[in-house]
Amino acid sequence: MKVQSTDKPDVYAVSGRELRIHWNIEQVTREGMEGPETYWEAYEALARPTDAYPVLIESIIRSQYTTSQELAAINSGGERYQAFLDFRQQAKTLARGWLGMPEPSVADQRAEAVLTRARFKLALLEGGYLDAVEAAYPSWPRNVQIMWDDSSTFERMHPALIQLAEAMGYSSEQMDAIFGITPPPINVNTATQEELTALSGVGTTIANAIINGRPWAATADLSSISGVSDTMVSGWNVTV
């Protein structure tokens, strides 16, 4: 449900026993009878502040999809199904945000990652993999060929897809990128030396400087460390 307001709505707003969840919040200006009118638009779902994670997800999804519309999107496949999958992920993110749940681990993201056939092939094309994958098709095991030919969706952790990735020599990180999976940001105030040295350009000297400089108020402050530039920091997946 889309709502309008003269004031910018909060992502989460509680009124009594009602929780209003907003997303896609944007300011809109349109020509009115007395000149331009500016207001805020957002999508809204209604729930209860005490609702559990699955109930919150269901409430958000139902604000956009009836049960029959959800089934129609799933059965249609293609972009309609992908749009539903993307919205379901957004619903999970909103529910986690209200409950203060941590970002999902890479393992959790892998378990849930699904792309429609078209979106998967486009991701391969954008990554520069599609030509090599299609050229290697004749050499694949028969079960992998069947998956490639007949699947309407591709699951990140499907055994046949893992087998295909191994045959093509693609790493787990490359497959994660194809599915849009990203690791949670590293908290520079709590990370171990080993976690910090996994960042690009960070050796033990810089890692120890980060640890010794704690607490950090903002990630931008890391550029004050000798050997660390603003460009390096902007390329790190870090938080405070």
* d(C-alpha 211, C-alpha 21), whole Å: 37
Superfamily covering domain 186-239: Photosystem II 12 kDa extrinsic protein (1.10.150.320)
> Of the candidates 171, 230, 228, which has an alpha carbon nearest to the alpha carbon of residue 203?
228
**CA 31 – CA 22 distance, rounded (Å):** 25
Q: What pLDDT digit, counting tens, does each position of 76-103 carry?
A: 877 888 888 889 889 998 999 999 988 7
Q: What is the pLDDT of residue 59?
A: 94
* Residue 200, phi then psi, degrees to nearest 5: -60, 125
pLDDT of 65: 93
Burial of 50 (0-12, 13-18, 19+ CB in 10 A): exposed
Q: Cite the residue boundaries of each domain of the chain with CATH code 1.10.150.320.
A: 186-239
What's the CA dihedral at 150, 153, 157, 158 to 10 degrees?
-20
Residue ranges in the chain whose pLDDT is less than 50: none
Query: Could you give the count of Cα atoms lying within 13 Å of 160 in the half-sphere of its Cβ?
Result: 15
Alpha carbon 6 to its chain's center:
30
Q: Please report where in the chains the tokens 């056939």 appear, as a residue.
A: 117
Give the per-residue pLDDT at 11: 94
